[in-house]
Amino acid sequence: MVERHPTRYLGEEYERLVRENLNWELKVLESACEPVCLVDGKQVIMLCANNYLNLATHPKVVEAMIEATKKYGAGAGSDRSIAGNMDVHEELDRRLAKFKRAPASLTFQTGFMANQGLIPQLCGRGDLFVSDELNHGSIIDGVRLSHADRAIYKHKDTEDLARILEEAEKHDPPYNHIWIITDGVFSMDGDLAPLPEIAKIAKEHGAGVYVDDAHGEGVLGEGGRGIVSHFKLSRDEVHIEMGTFSKAFGVIGGHISGGEDLRNFAYNKARTWLLSGAVPPGVAAACIAAIDVLETEPEHVRNLWENRRYFLEGLQDLGFDTGNTETPIIPIMCGKSKTAKDLADYIWTQGIFALPIVYPMVARDKARIRTQLCAKHTQEQLDKALEAFKKGGKNLGLI
């Protein structure tokens, strides 16, 4: 008989990760997520949160969560598919559709669950997924859960995408359904998917377009409506717009927008929606309030972009390589993993919190520090961060 130990490998695998410098070291946030936070007992300027518009602490959003919790309780008591579909959930679906100017939306518990639940239902045997090589892990997992064929195109490379679709036309028997899936904003570089070109290629082949706009919502487009609005595309060109309430919206939750048929299909088929609890009513109410804030207080999106411009120019004036960013995600390219880790350690000593992003999240020679701006950073805070990057960058020979 083979000698087995039920759990020893767990510890061994963790030790391997530590040895190879691939383990996560968790930091603990001891305050609200604001431009200046208390992290591991230290006051730091937060430069790596997804809370782009500071809605996590917006009084209207917080108040809505408290009020709905008082009225409906802490939890919904069930899955939405059974008995937990409260009127606040339905109102959130409608409010989001209106904000997105889509016929219908459906909200999920998280963005990850939206991708993991819906994607495998879109294609099965005899169908094809075509996916950008740098797509988010929740898309990769969603595609893996399906029985469809899959093809990966080079990052943002529409020639490669067109070639794959030409090739797919030769498939015998012909594919029934083809979906092209892409992130809208790529989270490691802050660059945008070439969505108009993707939509054009898709149209030539009768393929669907699915965009995951997690980092684009509340950031891009008219009033933060996202990447579809940014490129002024129609619902005939982008068929599924997926997103999250956990980033610029400052709360938590996933969502999809598109036709009424999409909504009906999704809540009857996506297993993460059917078989998992509804988000607490307070969460749904807070998400509605966040949409309200986006619709009525345009200054937050404006301030975010103004901060982004200021910080990016500051970094570029110092001589840093900021990659291909087009959004408030700004990478500071460092090359080797060790350089990125050393720079992150140094800025931390200066009261700046931003994480190094290293292999395997990015290629071995593309390690970086990823910074993310928010609407409420003050110029003084950004100057302090620039000063820390300047000193650290000089010490490490980056500038």
Judge whether 162 and 119 are in contact, CB under 8 Å. Answer: no
Of 36 and 361, which CB lies nearer to ligand PLP in the complex structure? 361
Q: Nearest to ligand PLP by Cβ — which residue?
A: 111
Site for ligand PLP contains 307 (CB under 6 A): no
Active-site residue, from 146, 187, 229, 337:
187
Q: Coil, strand, or helix at residue 29?
A: strand
Site for ligand PLP contains 244 (CB under 6 A): yes
Give me the least distance between CB of 214 and ligand PLP, in Å please.
3
Give me the least distance between CB of 65 and ligand PLP, in Å please.
17
Of 135 and 339, which CB lies nearer to ligand PLP in the complex structure? 135
Q: Interaction with ligand PLP in 178-207: which residues (CB under 6 A)?
A: 183, 187
Q: Which residues, 6+ apart, have CB-to-CB distance to 59 below 8 Å?
A: none
Question: Which residues, listed in sequence order, are joined to residue 150 by a DSSP beta bridge?
Answer: 129
Active-site residue, from 247, 255, 300, 366:
247
Give me the least distance between CB of 217 and ligand PLP, in Å please.
10
Site for ligand PLP contains 214 (CB under 6 A): yes
Q: Interaction with ligand PLP in 103-162: which residues (CB under 6 A)?
A: 110-112, 115, 136, 138
Give me the least distance between CB of 138 and ligand PLP, in Å please.
5
Pair of tokens at residue 386: 């620039």
- The DSSP secondary-structure symbol of 45 reads E
Residue ranges with strand state E in 202-320: 208-212, 240-244, 254-258
Of 189 and 320, which CB lies nearer to ligand PLP in the complex structure? 189
Of 214 and 227, which CB lies nearer to ligand PLP in the complex structure? 214
- For β-strands 352-353 and 42-46, DSSP reports them as parallel
Q: Tell me how far apart the alpha carbons of residues 48 and 220 are, in angstroms, rounded to a whole number.
A: 18
- Give the residue among 211, 291, 276, 203 at the shortest CA–CA distance from 245: 291
- Give the residue among 201, 209, 269, 213 at the shortest CA–CA distance from 234: 209
Note if 341 is an active site residue.
no
Pair of tokens at residue 30: 């001891």
Note if 338 is an active site residue.
no
Residue ranges with strand state E in 75-199: 104-108, 128-132, 149-153, 178-183
Active-site residue, from 100, 136, 156, 215:
215
Q: Tell me how far apart the alpha carbons of residues 223 and 230 are, in angstroms, rounded to a whole number.
A: 10
Of 51 and 187, which CB lies nearer to ligand PLP in the complex structure? 187
Of 52 and 389, which CB lies nearer to ligand PLP in the complex structure? 52
Pair of tokens at residue 194: 């070439």
Site for ligand PLP contains 246 (CB under 6 A): yes
Site for ligand PLP contains 212 (CB under 6 A): yes
The CA-based dihedral angle spanning residues 194, 196, 201, 207, taken in that order and rounded to the nearest 10 degrees:
100
Residues known to be catalytic: 187, 215, 247
Q: Which residues bind ligand PLP (CB under 6 A)?
A: 110-112, 115, 136, 138, 183, 187, 212, 214-215, 244, 246, 254
